[in-house]
Amino acid sequence: MNRHPYHHGNLRAVLLAEAERTLRDQGIDQLSLRDLARHAGVSHAAPRRHFADRQALLDALAEAGYQRLDDQLHAAIDIAGDDHRTRLRAVAAAYIRFATHDAALLELMYAVKSGPHSAALDAASGRLLTTFDNEVREAQQAGTLLPGDPGRVRLLILAIVQGIAGLITTGSIDARLADELIADAAELFTHGPR
Amino acid sequence: MNRHPYHHGNLRAVLLAEAERTLRDQGIDQLSLRDLARHAGVSHAAPRRHFADRQALLDALAEAGYQRLDDQLHAAIDIAGDDHRTRLRAVAAAYIRFATHDAALLELMYAVKSGPHSAALDAASGRLLTTFDNEVREAQQAGTLLPGDPGRVRLLILAIVQGIAGLITTGSIDARLADELIADAAELFTHGPR
DNA sequence: ACCTGAACACCGTTCAAGT
DNA sequence: ACCTGAACACCGTTCAAGT
């Protein structure tokens, strides 16, 4: 609200928030440091104090994205309660919600992860993986999920959930059909096809 | 081989070939019209005759990508022979081979498909979908694939295949583990989990 | 019909200088 | 400690002019 709020140390946060909005609304191609600086009311060189280059900003966005996704999965798990079938579907639904609401961010998260990345990013994505792993392991122990190597089962579930999210993002299917596909997949992974 | 080969009508093809190479080796961010023109030995404005803007070049790359992927799937099917189990796994393997060899191109193909696109692109992606559909339908009729709405079964298979490809692209798994996951998925979709 | 060269408005990045 | 302003090397795009 001040005329000079950026001398008080919140420029970094303001830039990140605006970048996340632009990423969601206009895509990564439209994300420009100079544009962010203009929106924040600072010179085009000011962001340099907080992000060494454009990639550093993208890394920070990805790290925050992993953190937020993990938070949302945990929230979904907490609401779902004790039944493992319900929990698994809640996690899948929460992941797909994130993937469709922040498709460009999720893509960025994976792209950043496959290149060289910071320890902080690694920790954030590691937490997400642990969240997934725990659910799969517990569901298997409870007999809800089909048996087999937990690592492979987790990867298969991850693949199909991410695949369904991709179908929505590319406009191949709508949310209603996505729900049916999740139900089909859940059936397959918990009961078997017949 | 001539000093002036671009007055003979092959600049478009040369630009497309070089663009495909750059996309594969260096990613879409490094793909610049001016750079392509330099490599081809023409002025920076020359590509304009063949591609209205950068997006038009990307559209052309995507269309060629759909065509080539469809060709490779048909080749894999032809080699696989008559057994539907073998054919399905051959299609999945061919798709994943394309997805890992041309990850950036495949991403571009989906991105272009979700935005506004040309009739030619629609036709090319339509042919690919038909190839998939035929395999699923035939495998279902032969009793190889689990029954149910063919459209939903096709989408589920598409999701898991694309999901596995994504896991490879992001470096989460290697080719050996990918093969095991495909085998797991094939088991799931043809026999059921137990 | 196809290509060139100059021009314009945008980038990311760097760096001396300001407060 | 943080921000500014000028500068540099790159883009994509446009357009008059050349062959």
> CB–CB of B170 and A146 under 8 A?
no
Q: Please tell me the predicted confidence (pLDDT) of residue A3.
A: 46
Q: Which two tokens stand for residue B48?
A: 């304009």
User: Footprint of strand D, using CB within 7 A?
Assistant: A 6-7, 9, 11, 37, 42-46, 48-50; B 31-35, 44-45, 48, 52-55
Q: How many helices (H) and strands (E) does chain A have?
A: 8, 0
More confident residue, B19 or A171: B19
Question: What pLDDT is stored for residue A193 in this prediction?
Answer: 45
Model confidence at B17: pLDDT above 50:
yes
Is it the case that residue B69 has pLDDT exceeding 60?
Answer: yes
- The model's confidence at residue A1, banded by pLDDT at 50, 70 and 90, is very low
At residue B86, the pLDDT reads 92
Residue B158 CB partners (closer than 8 Å, separation 6+)? A163, A167, B132
Share of chain A above pLDDT 90, in %: 81
Q: Is residue A20 within 8 Å of A61, Cβ to Cβ?
A: yes
Question: What was the pLDDT predicted at B5?
Answer: 56
pTM above 0.85, yes or no: yes
Residue A117 pLDDT: 87
In this complex, the nucleotide whose C1' atom is nearest to the CA atom of residue B50 is C2
Name residue, tokens 């397959």. Answer: A188
Cβ-defined contacts of A78-87 (< 8 Å, 24+):
A84/A135, A84/A138, A84/A139, A84/A142, A84/A144, A84/A145, A85/A139, A85/A144, A85/A186, A85/A190, A87/A135, A87/A139
Residue pair B107/B118 in contact by the 8 Å Cβ criterion = no
Q: Is A184 within 8 Å of B152 when comparing Cβ atoms?
A: yes
pLDDT band at B1 (very low <50, low <70, confident <90, very high): very low
Q: For chain A, say whether B182 makes contact (Cβ under 8 Å).
A: no
B24 has pLDDT over 50: yes
Q: How far is CA B155 from CA A28, A83, B57, B129, B151, in A?
A: 27, 28, 29, 10, 6
User: Do the Cβ atoms of B152 and A180 come within 8 Å?
Assistant: yes
Residue of B154, B162, B174, B190 to mutate, testing the A interface (most A Cβ within 10 Å of its Cβ)? B162
| CB nearest to B163's CB, from A146, A160, A189 | A160
Please determine, for residue B193, whether its predicted confidence score (pLDDT) is greater than 70. Answer: no
A189 reaches B (C-beta below 8 A): yes
Q: What is the average pLDDT across A61-72? A: 97
What pLDDT score was predicted for residue A192? 55
Residue found under tokens 């038909």: B130
Q: CB–CB of A166 and B193 under 8 A?
A: no
Alpha-carbon distance A76 to A73, whole Å?
5
**Is the model's pLDDT at A172 over the cut of 80?**
yes
**Interface membership of A155 toward B (CB under 8 Å):** yes
Question: CB–CB of A58/A45 below 8 Å?
Answer: no
Provide mean pLDDT across the span A174-190. Answer: 91
Of B160, B180, B194, the CB nearest to A159: B160
Confidence of residue B114 (pLDDT cuts 50, 70, 90): confident
Interface test with B, best of A170, A174, A190 (most B CBs within 10 A): A170
CB contact under 8 A, B113 and A171: yes
